[in-house]
Every structure is written in structure tokens, then in C-alpha cells.
A and B are shown apart, each in its own frame.
Chain A
Amino acid sequence: MTRVMIVDDHPMWREGVARDLTEHGFDVCATASEVVAAVNIAKATRPDVVLMDLQLGSGSGVDATRDITAALPDTRVLVLSASGEQVDVLEAVKNGASGYLVKSASLEELISAIRHTAEGDAVFSAGLAGLVLGEYRRMESEPDRPRLTGRETEVLRLVARGLTAKQIAARLVLSHRTVENHVQNTLRKLQLHNRAELVRYAIERGLDQ
């Protein structure tokens, strides 16, 4: 049974989603409403999937996402944002989230997204593909930037245009699995690069002091 943790500062939302997920056979093992508690509870309960709101009253879900994915490599974070604020979503994904949904997504979409996330797949909406593609293009002038292969760029552009993995596989004559892998790789490279940047930043600051 997939173990899910819900991080959100709206009690009504937490309870509603917890009830819905329990009814559909998930084990909601923990809930939290702010960053520090979320990280501590996640470390203690080791959920499979964390549903993460980005606007937590006391702080940002981006920080919680970074700390949870750094401490628990087997735990996946699925961002569930009300605003879909582009910069925040991109930051969350760079800091380890494996997918993103807007809160108004239907229950079916949410359940299928949690299943995918638990299996280790990225939940890649068109919107997220557009953000990731834009981020790679923005970094093009940086010296040791992560690079996309031609195929990865092609796949990402088609995801951004709303094609499903199946449609992309048909159009590019690839297997469904290969398309999933390409999408995963674009995300993984971005996250690795981000982590390296954070480490470098920390070292530079450490040397300065």
C-alpha cells in the first residue's frame, strides 16, 4: 500500500484529501502544516509520496521539498499548488520534486499522479515541460550547464504541446518506456545541476567566513 504524507497549511484541504485518498486505498501516514514539522515528520515516517503545498503560511514548500528529498532518497515529492506560480513551481522541481499538479485537478488526476510518482515516474504536465524547457534555454549561456540531447529536447517540446506519452511514442517511433526515460532524464539533470550549485554556493560561503 502506497504511504502518503500531506503537507498543507489548510486544515480543510488536508482532511478532505486524506479522506479521499484513504477511500481509494492509500495509507495517509502523516500530515503537517509547516516546513520544519514537515521535514521532521517525513524523516520519522518515511512516506513513499509527499503531497506538498508550496505556499505554507510560515515558509515555502520549496525548502521542505529540498530537505525531504535530500534526507530521504526513496521518498518522492509531488507538488500540489493552488497558484501554480511559475517561479515557485520551477524552484520546487529543481529542488527535487518529481511532479506538479494544480490543486483544482480532479480526484482521478490526483490519484493517477500519486500512483505514477510512487512508481518513480515524473508527473509531467505541459505546463511543467514548458518551465523546464525554458530553464534549459535560459541556462544556455552558463559555462558548466546541464545539456539536453536532441531527442530529450524533442520529447520535452512535444510534452509542452500537450501530447501524451503514448502520442509522443507514436510520433517519434519510440517505446512508451523510452519516452518516460527521456522525460525523467531532463528532470534528473536539472536537479543534479541544482544540487551541485547549492554545494558550490555553500563552499564559497564557508570559505569566505
Chain B
Amino acid sequence: VGAVGQPTCGVDSVSAVTDLVRPLWRALVVFRVLAWGFAVLGVYTRWDELHRRWGAVVLLAAMAVWTVVVSFGYSRTWGRSNTRLAVADLVVTVACMAGTLLAQRLDAIHDGASILTSVWAAGPVLALAIARGRDGGLLGAVAISLTTGALIAFGDWSRLLNNIQLLLVAGLVVGYAATATRRANARLTDAIATEAATAERLRLSRTIHDGVLQVLAQVQHRGGDLAPVAAEQEIALRSLMNGRATSLAGESDLRAGLSVLASPRVEVVVPASPVPLRAHRVSELVAAVREALANFTRHAGPDARAWVVVEDLGGEVLVVVRDDGVGTSAERIEHASRDGRLGVSQSIRGRIADLGGTAEVRTAPGEGVEWELKVSR
């Protein structure tokens, strides 16, 4: 047994988790730059209608400067909540929307001319949604809608409602997405931490359990009244280690469920690679095997031994429970259920039938009992 070394994994690996919110901020930066380009295009197509062209140029320049500022800001603190910057963004954007009056006359806007900031103004709505979730998105949408409403003097309601609708949808959807992403992120971090802890525990227990097993084996070899107890404990410890559960996404390893049934009289025979099955199927199969083994303990005789064998057939899994005890007759098994008592065999058959599988029993006096439980994946 080697010396127990220092723990090799700790919290460091956890902080290395990629922040899942990062892509949202990156997308926002891209959106902002594109939206500014769209605003430039808008000014270019309406160049002749503009009341003060220099006003439009100043406005676009201010928007460009602010776009660069927030792009750097949102990028630099990727992953953090960025709430302050998003609020500042909201204030500046509202000011830029008002700045459209440098280029346009108010009555032109009332008559239906577009506000020059156009879709660029949705930026802070998205930023607040990413930083603060649904409520942030809602706040941003309301603020930008009110500003739009003020500019068009709440005259053209269908135009206003259209804007509000789009802003609300954007704010709420992105807000929900950000919240969901944050939760997933937290869970991923937890899962990675758990995995690291499990690996460490496994390494330690492997080192320790080999030593303990050595001692138990030696106690058995020396004989004496401690030998049977040592045998029992040795099998319990070995099956515990060999049957380490590796469960993922609602599936669990059938080997782990069955290994704990090993005892000095019961050997559990499994392949070296995991046999994943849906968790419910594993628990039903284990329950059926337990019943068969309970029956073995009651009826097979004091010197009988039993084997639980797992065969992974690909599309199906076969579990065999066989003993070399006194056996019984097929009629007696049937008889038990005719008497109105729910016999063990009925109970086992019921469980396996519920899983859509088949349960067959083979027995004869002096030949032991052999159950074949077959369940599809």
C-alpha cells in the first residue's frame, strides 16, 4: 500500500469553468456595432430630408463614441453583472434619442419620420436584461418606450405600440435567457466541484481499502472465531468498492445496484464495463433479484450458494439468479399463486412484466432454482 499523498485536485479546477453568460455580452457588443451601422445607413438614405445635417453627423459621432465605450466596458468585465454600465448606457441612449432633435424637427417626427437612433436604442434594454434578468429587461424596455413616446408626443399609438412590443419581447426573452444561463452556470460549477471531490475520495479509498482488505484476508487465513466475520466484512467492502455508482442523466449502473447483494453465500458476477440502465429499471431489477435471493435464503438449504450474473446483450440486459440448493418443482411454484397467496414468483414476474421484460424460472428437486430476467434497454 503506497503512502497517502496530498490531495491533487481542489477548488482551482472549479474557477476555470467558462462563464456561460460571456457569449451573451459578446453578442450584445456585435449587435451594438451593427445597429450603429444601421443608424448611419438611415441617415444616409434620408440625407435630403434632414433639417440640420451637421446635427445628424454630431449625433452619429456621439453614438459611435458611446458604442466604443460600452463595447470595451461590456467586454472588459465579461461575466460580471455590468449593472452600473448598463444603467449608464440607458441614460446616454435616452440622451442620444433626444439628440435626434439636433437633426430633425419635432413636427417631422410627429408626422412619421423615424428617430435617427433607430434600433441602436435597444442596446441598453438588452444590456440590462443580461445583467439583471427579466426585471432589468422590463425596466430598459419601459424607459426606451417612454422616451420614444415623448418624442412622438404619444400621437401615433400604433407606431408606439409596435415599438413597445418589440422592446418588451427583446427585454423579456433575453432576460429569461440570461437568468437560465446563470442557473446552468451555477449547476455546472457545482457538478465540477462534486466530480473533483468524488475523484479524490475514490483515490483515497482505493489506497485505504486495499490495506484493510489485506488485513481481513490474513485474519481469515489464520482461522479462529474471527474468520467468518472477517469474510463477511471483506466481501461487503469489496463489493462496495467494485460497485461504485456512476450515474448520469437518469441512468445508473446496474452493477452498482447488484454488487451490494454479495455475501459469503452469494457471488455477484458482472462485466468490467458499466451496464447503464434507466434508474427506475435498475431499482426494479434489484428488487426482483432481492426477492429471488430472499427465497433462496429461506428454501435452498444451509450449504447452498447462489450466483447473480449480469450479461449485457446490447439491446437487452440479462440477469440470472442461480442457486445450487435443494430446488423445488414447477407445480409448487404455480401452486403458491393458486392458493391466493401472492407467491414470490408472481411478484418477480410482475416487476419484470411491468418493465416489458420476461422472467423465466427453471427448477427441479435437487437441481436448485435458476431465474432468467431479461429486460430491454
Contact = CB atoms under 8 A, between A and B. Distances in A.
Interface of A: 9-10, 12-13, 16, 20, 55, 57-58, 82-87, 89-90, 102-104, 106-107, 126-127, 129-131, 133-135, 137-138, 140, 157, 160-162
Nearest to B275: A134
Contacts, number: 104
A16 B210 contact: no
Interface stretch (B141-149, B162-170, B302-310): B302-310
Nearest to A161: B322
Contacts of B273: 134, 138
Contact of B216 (A16, A85, A90, A104): A104
B271 A161 contact: no
A86 B270 contact: yes
Contact of A83 (B213, B270, B272, B324): B213
B122 to A, nearest CB: 52
B322 A103 contact: no
B1 A129 contact: no
A137 B231 contact: no
Given A157-B311, A161-B320, A130 B269 contact: yes
B269 A126 contact: yes
A57 B207 CA distance: 10
B210 A55 contact: yes
The B interface is mostly helix, strand or loop, or mixed, namely mixed
B187 interface: no
A185 to B, nearest CB: 19
A138 B271 contact: yes
A128 B234 CA distance: 18
Nearest to B209: A83
Given A83-B209, A83-B210, A104-B217, A126 B271 contact: no
Contacts of A82: 210, 213-214, 217
B218 interface: yes
A57 B216 CA distance: 18
A87 B314 CA distance: 20
Contacts of A58: 2
B370 interface: yes
Given A82-B214, A102-B238, A103-B214, A90 B322 contact: no
Given A82-B213, A130-B271, A57 B1 contact: yes
Given A83-B241, A102-B238, A162-B322, A55 B1 contact: yes
B213 A103 contact: yes
Interface of B: 1-2, 206, 209-210, 213-214, 216-218, 220-221, 230-231, 234, 238, 241-242, 267, 269-273, 305-307, 309-314, 320, 322, 324, 370
Contacts of A126: 267, 269, 307, 309
A16 B269 CA distance: 29
Contacts of B310: 130
A161 B372 CA distance: 11
A127 B267 contact: yes
Contacts of B1: 9, 55, 57
Contacts of B241: 83, 85
B213 A161 contact: no
A160 B217 CA distance: 24
B307 A162 contact: yes
A135 B271 CA distance: 7
Given A82-B213, A104-B231, A16 B218 contact: yes
Given A12-B218, A13-B218, A161-B370, A84 B238 contact: yes
A106 B223 CA distance: 10
B369 to A, nearest CB: 12
Please indicate which of the listed interface residues A20, A87, A134, A137 has the most CB atoms of chain B within 10 Å of its own CB.
A134
B217 A86 contact: no
A76 to B, nearest CB: 22
Nearest to A162: B307
A86 B269 contact: no
Contacts of A106: 220
A160 B320 CA distance: 10
Contacts of B214: 10, 13, 82, 103
Contacts of B322: 161-162
A162 B309 CA distance: 9
17 contacts: A9-B1, A10-B214, A13-B217, A55-B1, A82-B214, A83-B242, A86-B242, A104-B220, A126-B307, A130-B269, A130-B270, A134-B271, A134-B273, A138-B272, A140-B314, A161-B320, A162-B324
Contacts of B2: 57-58
Nearest 8 Cβ contacts at the A-B interface = A134-B271, A130-B269, A162-B307, A103-B217, A82-B213, A104-B217, A90-B272, A86-B272
B267 A162 contact: yes
A66 B356 CA distance: 45
Scoring B218, B272, B314, B324 by chain A CB atoms within 10 A of each residue's CB, the highest score goes to B272
Nearest to B212: A82
A95 to B, nearest CB: 14
